[in-house]
Amino acid sequence: MQILTLDQKTGFSKLKLETVDDLWHMQHIIEKGDLVTAQTTRKTTVKRGQEIHEGERKKVVLTVKVEKIERDSNVHILRVTGPIEKGPDDIQLHSYHSINIEPGMVLNLEKTKWKPQHIDRLNKARKEQEPLLVCVLDREEANFAALKASGIDWLGTIHCQKGLADEKRGDYYKQIMDTLEKHVKAGFEHIVVAGPGFERENLHKFIREKNPKIAKRILIESSASTGMRGVQEVIHKSANKIIRESRIAKETEIVEELFTRIAKDGNATYGRNEVEKTIAIGAVELLLVSQEKLELYEDFMERVEEQRGTIMIIASDHESGEKFLSIGGIAALTRFKI
């Protein structure tokens, strides 16, 4: 989750949701009486005399005062329902509407007061996002920026001598490669290299030959420009793709660790009864729940959170997620052997 704006004095926040886990967090942050503003679809209304007639359905930005919160695990959305407080002139105010909240969307959430547990959960969701390193370049300069939970950080620029012959551009590429390597050592897992023309491919070829480990982290994208405009263009096109690939890799690693522990009779349990026993003695280090089973195991998740355990929601849109679902979709990595 990205926290784009948070003003505790006014109660206003602007949030970008990125994963199914974010829906779980939002379900525990949004309360009755909160105002949620987001893009949705709604039939317009037309007044003819004293009668109000329905018009066509269109995309609109509406604000609803939340009265009901429910999760639809079949399509992975969180639905908030309540009377419409703000909207275009052709939308009838105070009529009821449901806004579907899903990964990838931006919404405004307004509270009369942000409670400490809500702030804590927001920060927890934000920390779960891995930073993304972006490099946009052309023949004259390379710009570096980071996409973090707090937003975009500008990291600097490397300039290349104008008119430098192709065979002498190795120094330019090496400076870029060394800068990327420095940031990877600082904690960046994923890199996007982009820009107009062919410099991005030339750089990638150079890095593949000189530093294959760094090259494996790179995703090549196109952009019409360099500078901040190019960075923003790349983030808009690539961030969701990389977040998804990163999520799948992380979930696959954890699921494989689970099956390895099960095979070795190690620190792990699975199945409803066994996991419930593990929770009862406070032994859960990491609770794994299939996104298909969230409603069924919501009480397990809340109890593990109270015990300061960690929760990971495993999506079923990849092979390891399906494998995990096949054993019941509930398991725990434990602090000690049960």
Residue range 143-156, pLDDT digits in tens:
999 887 556 888 99
Across residues 279-299, what is the average pLDDT?
Answer: 92
- Of 85, 109, 127, the one marking the end of a domain is 127
Mean pLDDT of 239-244: 70
Question: Does a structural domain hold residue 33?
Answer: yes
Predicted pLDDT at 129:
63
CA 265 from chain centre, in angstroms, equals: 34
Tell me the mean pLDDT in the region 79-105: 93
Q: Does 66 fall in a domain?
A: yes
Q: Which of 22-26, 33-37, 136-140 has the highest mean pLDDT?
A: 33-37
Mean pLDDT over 299-315 rounds to 90
Cβ atoms 20, 291 nearer than 8 A: yes
One domain for residues 118 and 157: no
Paired strand residues for 39: 61
pLDDT of residue 327: 97
Measured distance CA(115)–CA(325) in Å, rounded: 35
State the CATH number of the domain containing residue 305: 3.30.1330.30
DSSP state of 335: S
**166-170: average pLDDT:** 77
Contact 47, 71 (CB under 8 A): no
Instruction: Work out the pLDDT band at 189, boundaries 50, 70, 90.
Output: confident
Counting the structural domains of the chain, the total is: 3
Give 46's pLDDT tier (boundaries 50, 70, 90).
low
What's the CA gap between 112 and 16, in Å, rounded? 20
* pLDDT tens sequence across 114-130: 987 788 788 878 766 66
**Pick from 208, 243, 278: which residue ends a domain?**
243
What pLDDT band is residue 179 in, cutting at 50, 70 and 90?
very high
Residue 155, amino acid: L
pLDDT, residue 116, reads 77
Q: What is the pLDDT of residue 302?
A: 87
pLDDT at 336 over 70: yes
Give the domain CATH number at 147.
3.30.420.60
- Is residue 23 predicted with pLDDT exceeding 60? yes
Which tokens go with 235? 């983030």
As a whole-number percent, the residues of the chain with pLDDT over 90 amount to 57
Boundaries of domain holding 12? 2-127
Q: Is residue 255 assigned to a domain?
A: no
Claim to verify: residue 61 and residue 84 sit in the same structural domain: yes
Whether residue 194 sits in one domain with residue 292 = no
Say if residue 229 is in the same domain as residue 286: no
Is 260 part of a structural domain of the chain? no
Q: Does any domain span residue 226?
A: yes
Output the CA–CA distances (angstroms, integers) from residue 79 to 27, 56, 64, 94, in the order listed.
9, 22, 11, 18
Average pLDDT over residues 170-179: 94
Residue 258 lies in a domain: no
* Cα(185)–Cα(79) distance, integer angstroms: 41
Cα 181 from Cα 8, distance rounded (Å): 38
What CATH number is associated with residue 15?
A: 2.30.30.870
Span 176-198, average pLDDT:
90
* Shared-domain flag, residues 10 and 116: yes
* 121 and 145 fall within a common domain: no
User: Same domain, yes or no, for 193 and 276?
Assistant: no
Element housing 278 (H / E)? helix 272-280
Same domain, 137 and 235: yes
| Residue 152 shares a structural domain with residue 192 | yes
State yes or no: pLDDT of 132 exceeds 80: yes
Q: Give the torsion sign (CA, 85, 87, 93, 97).
A: negative
